[in-house]
Amino acid sequence: MIADSVIRDLRALLPSAAVLTADEDTAVYESDGLSAYRCRPGAVVLPETETQVIAILRLCHAAGVPVIARGSGTGLSGGALPREDSVLLGLAKLNKILHLDPLARSARVQPGVRNLAISGEAAAYGLYYAPDPSSQIACSIGGNVAENSGGVHCLKYGLTVHNVLGVRAVTIDGEILQLGGDCLDSPGYDLLALLHGSEGMLAVITEITVKLLPKPEHAQVILAAFDSVETAGAAVGAIIAGGILPAGLEMMDRPAIHAAEAFIHANYPLDAAAILLVEVDGTTEEMAEDLRCVHDILAANGATSARTAVDDTERLRFWAGRKNAFPAVGRLSPDYYCMDGTIPRRALPAVLYGIEVLSEEYGLRVANVFHAGDGNLHPLILYDANIPGELHKTEQLGARILELCVQYGGTITGEHGVGMEKIDQMCVQFRALELAAFHGIKAAFDPAGLLNPGKAVPTLQRCAELGAMHVHAGQLSHPHLPRF
């Protein structure tokens, strides 16, 4: 619980309606998009200005109260999961587009601005913001930075980190950091990149300057069907090896295809074991050549059919099926657990086969929807939380899938972050020396460990207890490290 004196001080800083402590008010903040974890915060504060954010952080720093920043709450790893002794800092009201410069092709926005709203504002100038997570209609740009989000077009246009020019953030003691800016490069260490994917553990973001791109002259998508997921996975590598860099290269397996088709009616082939969506863009000449090459590669690599969308309406319908795959799969089972791992493209066939084997071993269905072009997998494990022990079994299967990704030279996350969900698998991914470096960075920004404590980076003690890290003579390699 949070001391009454801290609550009184927060109410002195903010309007009364901006400090929430009643159970019925804080209940809606007890989880992010990963609903398997729940905890009600001691208090929720909803500032509207950077000045208020600074005052809140200084107060909590002085009182030793943990602070957990939250955007739109669409995260899928428990990164915004609160604690009973914490202040949850909601940034949704910092939602203004402060400045859009069509000549410099940039926009300066507050963290609560929705991802899709940036492209909506830039459309009048023939510009758009490239990263497009499936939740882009709701997710906030501040959360995108915190998790280094991607989307279906990240293969060609990059993740959030590749599309952000500068960030303004506030440390736990209320100091302002200005990282990056309007220039292509800035002096000193690349702290701008460091803040991306830091999951709110280093500082609280209050402004972001994003890069805007000209809309491609043309875009077209090919829908290809395959009789096995392994064949489709192999075709992904063949497309990239053929010198084509698609704007988007996505894959769905049969359960996901059927769910999306029933939900969106995207005209997907229901007899396919897997489909690829391959989008190319550019000038008329570039697009025509790339379409021809992709069709040739698909035909040579086992596609049972491949058709190009007849017009932009059909192209958008193909993508609507993919972007709504998560809610569509939610209609197949009372619950599902969305995983997020990344592997080298060459390992796609082997890892997809491995997921199929693990699915049978645990007796749980898995629907696969993922960014095939960059090897970012999103296996959706279907389960029923009302069945005793099934959530635990689901978590075990998810952990095995992530460890499979590591085994093939991949990582335990691509864009959803670590949060609470994958913190144990960090012990598998990294050695003690690497985790020590992470803790050192955390301590440099937040010595008391008040910003989003207990997330993303496990203590070495935790890893030792799990038996997932080598311990010399029963002792941790770095017992002096802080245990956040």
Over its C-alpha atoms, the chain yields an Rg (Å, rounded) of 23
pLDDT of the residue at 475: 39
In percent, the amount of the chain with pLDDT more than 70 equals: 96
Distances (CA, A) of 20 to 10, 31, 405, 467: 10, 16, 41, 41
Can you say whether the dihedral through the CA atoms of 284, 288, 290, 291 is positive or negative?
Answer: positive
Domain termination site, one of 405, 422, 439? 422
pLDDT for residue 467? 79
Contact 204, 53 (CB under 8 A): yes
Q: Are residues 318 and 378 in the same domain?
A: yes
Residue 163 confidence (pLDDT): 97
Averaged pLDDT for residues 143-166 = 96
Percent share of the chain, pLDDT over 90: 92
Amino acid at 323: K
84-133: per-residue pLDDT in tens? 999 999 999 999 999 999 999 999 999 999 999 999 999 999 999 999 99
**Residues 305-311, mean pLDDT to the nearest whole number:** 97
Q: Could you tell me which residues come within 8 angstroms of residue 128 by beta carbon, excluding any fewer than 6 positions away?
A: 118, 119, 122, 212, 213, 215
Instruction: Note whether 302 and 257 are within 8 A (CB).
Output: no
Pick from 49, 171, 198, 164: nearest CA to 110: 49
210 & 223 share domain: no
Distance CA 324, CA 135 (A): 9
CATH of the domain at 389: 3.40.462.10
Q: Where does the pLDDT of residue 310 fall: very low under 50, low under 70, confident under 90, or very high at 90 and above?
A: very high
The verdict on 204 and 349 lying in the same domain is no
Q: What is the pLDDT of residues 410-429, one digit of tens each?
A: 999 999 999 999 999 999 99
> For residue 479, is pLDDT > 50?
no
Residue with tokens 């882009």: 136
**Same domain? 208 vs 220:** no
Whether residue 478 sits in one domain with residue 405: no
Lowest mean pLDDT among 211-215, 222-226, 400-404, 464-468: 464-468
Could you tell me if 62 and 106 lie in one domain?
no
pLDDT band at 484 (very low <50, low <70, confident <90, very high): very low
Predicted local distance difference test score (pLDDT) of residue 415: 92
pLDDT level of residue 188 (50, 70, 90 thresholds): confident
CATH of the domain at 159: 3.30.465.10
- Where residue 36 falls among pLDDT bands split at 50, 70, 90? confident
Q: Kindly state whether residues 445 and 338 are assigned to the same domain.
A: no
Q: Do both 329 and 470 map to the same domain?
A: no
Distance CA 194, CA 175 (A): 17
Which of 47, 62, 51, 50 has its CA nearest to residue 11?
A: 47
Residue 471 has pLDDT above 90, yes or no: no
Averaged confidence pLDDT in the chain:
93
**What b-and-e string marks burial along 193-223, b requiring 16 or more CB atoms within 10 Å of the CB?**
eebbbbbbbbbbbbbbbbbbeeebeebbbbb
β-strand pairing of 335-338 with 106-109: unpaired
Mean pLDDT of 448-455: 97
Residue 267: give the domain boundaries: 216-422
Structure confidence at residue 307 (pLDDT): 97
Return the half-sphere exposure (C-beta side, CA atoms, 13 A cut-off) of residue 73.
Answer: 15
Q: Are residues 210 and 220 in the same domain?
A: no
In the predicted model, what is the mean pLDDT of residues 382-399?
96
Choosing from 185, 214, 243, the residue where a domain stops is: 214
Which of 33-42, 140-149, 352-361, 376-385 is least confident? 33-42
Looking at the 3D structure of the chain, how many domains does it have?
Answer: 4
Report how far residue 9's alpha carbon sits from residue 47's, in angstroms, rounded to the nearest whole number.
14
Residue where one domain finishes, among candidates 170, 185, 214? 214
Choice among 15-24, 115-124, 185-194, 390-399 with the minimum mean pLDDT:
185-194
> Which phi and psi (to 5°) does residue 228 adopt?
-155, 150
**What does the alpha-carbon distance between residue 277 and residue 291 come to, in Å, rounded to a whole number?**
12
Q: Which of 29, 24, 70 is nearest to 47 (CA)?
A: 70
353 lies in the same domain as 462 = no
Cα torsion for 116, 122, 123, 129, to the nearest 10°? -50
263 and 379 co-located in one domain: yes
pLDDT tens digit sequence for 271-289: 999 999 999 999 999 999 9
CATH code of residue 85: 3.30.43.10
pLDDT band at 187 (very low <50, low <70, confident <90, very high): confident
Co-location of 265 and 302 in the same domain: yes
pTM of the entire predicted model? 0.92
Helix/strand/coil for 205: strand
Beta strands 176-180 and 204-211 are: unpaired
> What is the reported pLDDT for 468?
59
pLDDT confidence of residue 423: 95
